[in-house]
Amino acid sequence: METSRTPASGAGQAGTTPAQEERVWKAGRLEPMPIRPLPDAPPSVHILGPTVFLVALGVGMGESYMWPRLVLLFGPEIRWLFLIGVTLQAVVMLEMARYAMATGESIFFGAARVFKPLMWFFFAVAILVYIWPGHLSAGAAAFEKITGIPWVVTACVGLVLVGIVFSLAKVIYNLLENVLSILIGTLVVGTAIIAAMVGSWQDLSSTITGMFAFGYIPDEALSPTWFPVIVGSIAFAGPSGMQQMWYTLHLRDSGAGMGAHIPKIRGLRHAGEEEAMPSRGFMFDTDNPEEMRKWKGWRRWVTFDAFLLFWGITMLVTVSFTVLAQAASRQNSNVKELILAGDREASLNAMSDSFSSAGSSVLGAVFLGFIALIGLNATLGLFDSFSRGQADMSYHFVPGAKKFGISKLYAGFLWAVIIFGILILLFGPADGPGAILDTLAFLSTFAMGAYCVTLLLVNNRMLPKPIRPKLYTNLIIGFGAVFYLGMLFYSLFKYGVVLD
Amino acid sequence: MDRARLHAEVALPGLLIGVIAGAMAGGLTLLAGNSGAWALVSALSLAVPLGLLGAGYGFLLGRSLFQPGVFAPAGLYWLVGFPLARLIQEAVTSHVVFGRVALSDELLFFLAYQAVVSLGFAIGFVWLHERLAPHWFMRIARHNPVAHELLERYIAHAENLWRARERRRAMRQGEKGAR
């Protein structure tokens, strides 16, 4: 880091503000970041971190339905695409964390430092893609199958409960982390037992061999019917859409790295106790070897999270559900037909029925319970993350928004999305208007390519040189941008279909 | 209260997580279309070893051989323990149901596969233990010095976090005042 005391301008320069003679890091045209001490990294590789949110958001329909479906269709060799998708997401996660931990700012703020319209693009995409309550349907439908309570009722009650709980919580992060941790812990232990009993070394070796069958694309996959499904499945391997970007807000709220200098978001009832949110993040002294030692500690911590927790759990859940789908289709050929036909709810119900007929009705309920659990995790995580992201961008960049405080903005977005969700569930199409469904699917995947480009710009231009990503990391993220955008546009121009 | 009982109390959360995880095996056995008796044997023969191993984890935690929430030693513990528990389950179930000991795979392949899966199990186990155990220790700390000592470690960790947060808050307040 340059430590010149002359105020500097332009992207990525160290300098001082004349009034206080305080050392600052200038990144882009926005307010410079004051230099502050970097807190110590957690002393050991501690298992509980903000990755719980990414796991909760990421382990969804991609893992429990889309990939098992592709394996039934094209064989285990198709899983090389899953390996690429999830590994790419693990690297993206590390790079998202790089900016958030170095500055205490979200990636949205970083995008605004590069080019403000880039941030507004993500603001608009989030609203367009995530206000539709369609993601509630799979979990609530599974719950209906178990209890008989109509899914719309469950979904509406669930929405209101989510709003009340998040509004009453003193510190939202703590509550959410506790609830999600128990749910995810149960899911992980359960799937490990399933994998241990149902799988074998041969299954594992075929899965692993399949994961390294690089380049395997059967002819029927290159068709207007299946290619968009494959692109969609890759995009949904791990966290999809904007979930990785939201992860930077969770990192900040958990106090990781320089996030320690930023206060936490509170529930509406406790919004009055909120500390004022600083108007920008902070930077640490990258010339100081002691600070760099601490930085390396933080990087080790987040790398552990990315590869053991995120990558490991996502793999474990997908392999287990794939094995389950194979078992169900062996017992009942109808299941395979339904899965191939692409009706998600019918397929999941048929899988449950096949388990019920094989054992007892309790087993079908257990299976659906798992699906409902996954749906609940995703819903809790999505609503919170969406509101967090929009509140963060509004607070910093909408004129006059600061006077409300970030906790009230958070509550505003949360209740707006809940009320809109209930209205749509009662009167409208849950996934969004049919006419724009393709556009929404396009935007969701396009955002993933766009955040790879944003990451390259933010981390290479807005951070001091000693903590910028290495060349190979840049190459991987660059590959990610080409991969997501390339497949999306190829699907669009070659087959005229966005993704499925 | 004698020492063994104190440690047994501390080991309870691990025991419970292990037993519940093992009991899931019964459901899976039914799922495979087998009889209720088979499922019961399958559940018991996994729940008992996993429960004991879970309790062993809590015991070693109480003896300070493991640190709360630190993954690597727990991962190694289950790398050995989980395949053993599965081996016991397979051996007992096949012996009771078929009258002879048989594994679903060759012994080495069987153990190797279970060892790979143990990593996932270890993550879930430590994850749940970290969430549930401190609440239990709080309840028993008054009469149980082992739990009290463990709870103090958790409290010390929480206090460190709290002090750091207070320092940061003071720093932020100072900054606000300066502006």
Full residue range of the structural domain in which residue A8 is found:
1-35
Q: What is the largest CA-CA distance in chain B?
A: 81
A131 with A178, same domain: the answer is yes
B34 contacts in chain A (CB < 8 Å) = 359
pLDDT at B161 over 90: no
d(CA A118, CA A120): 5
* Cα(B169)–Cα(B15) distance, integer angstroms: 40
| A225 and A194 fall within a common domain | yes
User: Does residue A145 share a domain with residue A15?
Assistant: no
Whether B41 and B28 have beta carbons less than 8 Å apart is answered as: no
The answer to whether residue A46 sits within a structural domain is: no
pLDDT in tens, A295-313: 999 998 888 877 777 787 7
Counting residues of chain A whose pLDDT is more than 90, the rounded percentage is: 24
B interface mutation test: which of A40, A47, A329 has the most B CBs within 10 A? Answer: A47
Q: A23 and A72 share a domain?
A: no
Distance of alpha carbon A63 from alpha carbon A316, whole angstroms:
9
Q: Does A268 lie in the same domain as A334?
A: yes
Chain B contact for A202, CB < 8 A?
A: yes
Instruction: Say if CB A63 and CB A322 are below 8 A apart.
Output: no
Looking at the fold, whether A191 and A323 belong to one and the same domain comes out as yes
Q: How far is A125 from chain B (nearest CA, A)?
A: 33
Could you say which of B33, B69, B169 has the minimum Cβ distance to residue A46? B69
Q: Residue A404 corresponds to which tokens in the numbers above? A: 């409300």
For residue A43, what pLDDT band results from cuts at 50, 70 and 90?
low
CB-closest option in B25, B39, B172 to A193: B25
A480 pLDDT band (50/70/90 cuts)?
Answer: very high
Residues A9, A66, single domain; the answer is: no
Range of the domain at B27: 3-178
Are A150 and A20 found together in one domain?
A: no
A225 φ/ψ angles, rounded to the nearest 5 degrees: -75, -45
- A201:B120 CB<8 A: no
What does each C-alpha distance from A414 to A43, A46, A402 come to in angstroms?
Answer: 35, 31, 17
Local confidence band at A457 (pLDDT 50, 70, 90 cut-offs)? very high
Q: Nearest Cβ partner of B27 from A187, A192, A363?
A: A363
Look at residue A9 and give its three-state secondary structure.
Answer: coil
The torsion region of residue A330 among left (phi > 0), alpha (psi -120 to 50) and beta comes to alpha
Which CATH number do you get for residue A266?
1.20.1740
Number of domains in chain A: 2
CA-nearest residue to A320 within chain B is: B117
Query: Cβ of B151: how many Cβ atoms within 10 Å?
Result: 21
What six digits make up the tokens of A382? Answer: 């999505």
Using the predicted structure, report yes or no on whether residue B17 has a pLDDT greater than 60: yes
Place of tokens 């009034």: A19
Residues A18 and A62 in one domain: no
| B residues 55..94 contacting A (CB < 8 A) | 67, 69-72, 82, 86
Summarize pLDDT for A376-429 with one digit per residue, the tens. 767 777 888 899 899 999 999 999 888 888 888 989 999 999 999 888 888 877
Confidence of residue A8 (pLDDT cuts 50, 70, 90): very low
Query: Is the pLDDT higher at B65 or at A372?
Result: B65
Residue A368 pLDDT exceeds 90: no
| A394 part of a folded domain | yes
**CB A347 within 8 Å of CB A26:** no
Tell me which DSSP letter residue A40 carries.
Answer: P
Q: Note whether B150 and B137 are within 8 A (CB).
A: yes
Q: For residue A82, is it within any domain?
A: yes
Distance from B62 to chain A by nearest Cα, in Å?
18
A239 and A161 in a single domain? The answer is yes
Distance CA B67, CA A229 (A): 45
Measured CA to CA, the distance from residue A437 to residue A429 in angstroms comes to 10
Do A47 and B130 lie within an 8 Å CB cutoff?
yes
Domain count, chain B: 1
pLDDT in tens, A196-219: 877 778 777 777 787 888 888 888
Q: Are residues A31 and A171 in the same domain?
A: no
Nearest Cα to Cα of residue A489 among A451, A445, A454, A455: A445
- CA quadruple B27, B29, B33, B39: dihedral sign: negative
Count CB neighbours of A277 within 10 A.
20
